Amino acid sequence: MVLPIQPRVSDHMDQIKDMITQIINNDCAYTIDGDVYFAVDKSPNYGRLSGRKLENNRAGERVAVDSRKRNPADFALWKAAKPGEPSWDSPWGPGRPGWHIECTCQESIVSYWMHNGHVTNNNEKMSKSLGNFFTIRQITDLYHPLALRYFLLGTHYRSPVNYSIAQLEIASEAVFYIYQTLRDCEDTLSLFQEVNGRNVCITPAAQDCIRTLQTDFQTKMSDDLSTPHILNASLQEALRFINSCLNMLKKKQQKQQQLSAVESLTELGKEVKGVLSVLGLLSTLAYSEVLQQLKGKALKRAGMIEDDVLHLIEERALARKNKDFSKGDQIRADLASKGIALMDVGKETIWRPCVPVQQEPQAPASST
């Protein structure tokens, strides 16, 4: 089923033409060869929402400047018809609305105004003309969509975003850490079902952590959506606290201490998931499925399949068994350079994605 697109510009053509006429009558717009342009210097409040002064605007940043305009920053309210394009009759001749005027007539003014910074690649503006741009599809072919979202949230929306493979790797590892923590939390809580319904208090440390996360989230989101601070400060602290609770529950404790740790884990997990949900970082999929997807992307970036990694894990285990620790270390280092980290857990070796580690050059062999 295809849902109706509402509102439609074509259903508001009379309102658009009436508004343009009113703007012209207010001496805030002018006509040139069937085009109508808004005169930005006639609006004393122009730039107030973005916080930019008119003289600081960068003309031609996205499109070539029309030399007919009185001011390079003036923008089209109505465009004269071109062959093969849809057009409507108007007092200025056949044409179509400029995209700035469409939403003005269709909906009331927005309550919140956001204008994002430019996307750069190696500190150079990303654009089709320079041939240095990437599509979302190309990026998500190698990186999980949640990693891309985390990367974008890591820069304030009004600041330039410098596209970087290194930063995407860091974001991908951060998302894996988040979902590994959530899954470990879920698995642990499933072992302590007897806590449900009991009158158990969370620990004072957990209360402080929850209070800090709530206050920090409210304060920073109210401060022009300062998402980088949330990701790098209070959220990380909450995740570390969850992992400390998980480690605590692995040790022998008195029953009441154990129950308090479980309740703390439950409440803090709810708060973390609430923050992730608002930021668009909480998937509807099972945590284990997201982790598997992240591992699949890491394997693709490394040019490997999981069987390759498992074979190298076996090869490393055999080398260590034979006391060939140098070979075992080299296998671990080779995989780490491809973004695959090996972790020895008891007698088992498991792997997870990591930021690729650049290997140090080996010293040349002695000629003696």
Tens digit of each residue's pLDDT, the chain (368 residues): 455 556 788 888 999 999 999 999 999 999 999 999 999 888 877 777 666 666 666 555 555 667 788 888 889 999 999 999 999 999 999 999 998 888 787 777 777 777 788 888 877 888 778 888 888 999 999 999 999 999 999 999 989 888 889 999 999 999 999 999 999 999 999 888 665 555 567 899 999 999 999 999 999 999 999 999 999 999 999 999 999 999 988 887 778 888 888 999 999 999 999 999 999 999 999 999 999 999 999 999 999 999 999 999 999 999 999 999 999 999 999 999 999 999 999 889 999 999 999 876 555 444 44
| CATH number of the domain bearing residue 20 | 3.40.50.620
pLDDT of residue 191: 86
Instruction: Please indicate, yes or no, whether residues 187 and 54 belong to a single structural domain of this protein.
Output: no
Please give the C-alpha separations between residue 3 and each of 11, 12, 106, 173, 285, in angstroms, as whole numbers.
17, 19, 18, 38, 25
Same domain, 23 and 72: yes
For the entire predicted model, the pTM comes to: 0.72
Range of the domain at 240: 121-278
Q: What is the pLDDT of residue 318?
A: 96
34 with 166, same domain: the answer is no
**Strand 35-38 to strand 75-80: parallel, antiparallel, or no bridges (unpaired)?**
antiparallel
Q: Please say which residue of 106, 135, 165 terminates a domain.
A: 106
Q: What is each CA distance from 127 to 102, 210, 225, 298, in whole angstroms?
A: 25, 43, 26, 27
Q: Based on the domain organization, do 315 and 368 belong to the same domain?
A: yes
Same-domain check for residues 86 and 150: no
pLDDT of residue 56: 62
**Of the residues 57, 74, 106, which one is the last residue of a structural domain?**
106
Please tell me the distance from the alpha carbon of residue 48 to that of residue 157, in angstroms, as a whole number.
Answer: 17
Any domain includes 297: no
Q: Cβ(30)–Cβ(36) under 8 Å?
A: yes
In a domain, 291, yes or no: no
Domain count along the chain: 3
Identify the pLDDT of residue 367. Answer: 46
Q: Is 285 part of any domain?
A: no
Q: Say if residue 144 is in the same domain as residue 196.
A: yes
In a domain? residue 166: yes
Is residue 295 situated within a structural domain? no
Indicate if 170 and 73 belong to the same structural domain. no
Give the Cα separation of 104 and 100 in Å (integer). 7
Q: CA–CA separation, 75 vs 62, rounded Å?
A: 12
Residues ≥6 apart with Cβ < 8 Å to 71: 39, 40, 41
Residue 172 CA to residue 115 CA, distance in Å, equals 26
CATH number at residue 257: 1.10.730
Q: Are 29 and 20 in contact (CB under 8 A)?
A: yes
Contacts of 244 by beta carbon, 8 Å cutoff, 6+ apart: none
Residues 88 and 132 in one domain: no
Q: 147 and 70 in one domain?
A: no
